[in-house]
Amino acid sequence: MSRPSPTVSVMLDAARAAAKRLVRDFGEVENLQVSRKGPADFVSTADRKAEEIIHEKLSKARPGYGFLMEETGAVEGSDKSHRFLVDPLDGTLNFLHGLPHFSISIGLEREGVLRAGVVCDVMRNEYFWAETDQGAWLENRRLKVAARKKLVDALVVTGIPQLGKSGKDRFGKELSVVMEEVSGVRRHGSAALDLAWVAAGRLDAYWERGLAPWDIAAGAVLVREAGGMAEDISGGDLLATGDVIAGPEPIALPLRALLRKVPAG
Ligand code: 2AM
Ligand code: CA
């Protein structure tokens, strides 16, 4: 059994502290559903508060490391070789609607290369973590991507572009191509958890376009350390494009080939 390194332990502790806060706030969000104003303002405060907790914990334990955070953006550190990529609440729309499926995602880069990741499924109390060459783990269970070999047997997860996001036509075409070739398609609304579940073999593959670096960083390490691939769909720099294809190669490669055939325009 592998134990998380001191740095991953710090990331897990930061996620635990923020999760405690989100669980409390989620209870309040459930009450606010029936209020006329709705919970939107409350949720953005919860989001920022969770980020503050994570930032404070991590910067105390690893002073000088840089940050890229969904709410605050980039925070330069004196240590130029390390950077945390933080999404304090991935699956905000689920949270807002009282759906108990959202996560905290904390990735770590060293010299610009992804090295470690923690994804916390807040309401299921599941902590996924991975570190380069140490494997991917759910608590102390080693994770492995699914063993299915045929696309026709695969359960695939994706993300539907939300209101205000581009790429809706392209997504529609991709979906109609993919759903003819796979066993089923799911959409759960938290990119970080989609990747964690691919790492755990619960889902066979995942694709989504236009994600942010903090959505993907931790989950990409999880999938790779679980024996799968997590890459840019067109072969570019994953964190720069945010167009992700992830899963075991026997499934993700043919799925990627299908996606590449769909015209962008
Ligand atoms: P969020 O909940 O933190 O906004 C849903 O398909 C996934 O897409 C979620 O992980 C969601 O993260 C992310 N997402 C939603 N809007 C986005 C945007 N404009 N840019 C990047 N990622 C986004
Ligand atoms: Ca996100």
* pLDDT interval class at 14 (50, 70, 90): very high
92 lines ligand 1 (CB under 6 A): yes
212 lines ligand 1 (CB under 6 A): yes
Tell me which of 3.40.50.2300, 3.40.50.970, 3.40.190.80, 3.40.50.620 is the CATH number of domain 151-260: 3.40.190.80
Residue 1 has a pLDDT of 65
Residue 59 has a pLDDT of 98
Q: List, edge to edge, every strand of the sheet that includes 244-247.
A: 184-187, 155-158, 205-208, 244-247, 229-232
Q: Answer yes or no: is pLDDT of 78 > 70.
A: yes
Averaged pLDDT for residues 61-81: 97
CA of 219 to the centre of ligand 1 (A): 14
Q: Which ligand is the nearest neighbour of the Cα of 157?
A: 1
Averaged pLDDT for residues 141-170: 96
Q: Answer yes or no: is pLDDT of 37 > 80.
A: no
CB atoms within 10 A of CB 91: 25
Closest-CA residue, ligand 1 atom 5, reads 189
Residue 34 has a pLDDT of 75
Q: Answer yes or no: is pLDDT of 155 > 90.
A: yes
191 lines ligand 1 (CB under 6 A): yes
* pLDDT interval class at 215 (50, 70, 90): very high
Helix axes 168-178, 249-261, angle to 10 degrees: 130
Element (H, E) at 193: helix 191-199
Averaged pLDDT for residues 17-44: 88
How confident is the prediction for the chain on average, in pLDDT?
96
Q: Which ligand is the nearest neighbour of the Cα of 164?
A: 1
CB 90 within 8 A of CB 162: no
Write the CB contacts of 73 (distance below 8 Å, at least 6 apart in sequence): none
Q: Answer yes or no: is pLDDT of 225 > 80.
A: yes
CA of 3 to the centre of ligand 1 (A): 31
Question: Considering the entire predicted model, what is its pTM?
Answer: 0.97
Query: Measured from the CA of 194, which atom of ligand 1 is nearest?
Result: 10
* pLDDT interval class at 139 (50, 70, 90): confident
Q: Could you tell me the residue ranges of all domains in the chain?
A: 6-142, 151-260
Residue 33 has a pLDDT of 78
Q: Answer yes or no: is pLDDT of 36 > 80.
A: no
Long-range contacts from 232-238, C-beta under 8 angstroms, 24+ separation: 233/207, 233/209, 233/259, 233/260, 234/260
162 lines ligand 1 (CB under 6 A): yes
Q: What is the pLDDT of residues 234-262, one digit of tens each?
A: 999 999 999 999 999 999 999 999 999 99
CA of 209 to the centre of ligand 1 (A): 10
CB-count exposure of residue 155 (10 Å: 0-12, 13-18, 19+): middle
Averaged pLDDT for residues 150-157: 98
Tell whether domain 6-142 is in CATH 3.10.110.10.
no
94 lines ligand 1 (CB under 6 A): no
Closest-CA residue, ligand 1 atom 22, reads 211
Element (H, E) at 137: strand 135-138
CB atoms within 10 A of CB 27: 10
For a substitution probing ligand 1, which of 162, 175, 243 has the most ligand atoms within 8 Å of its CB? 162
Q: Answer yes or no: is pLDDT of 85 > 80.
A: yes
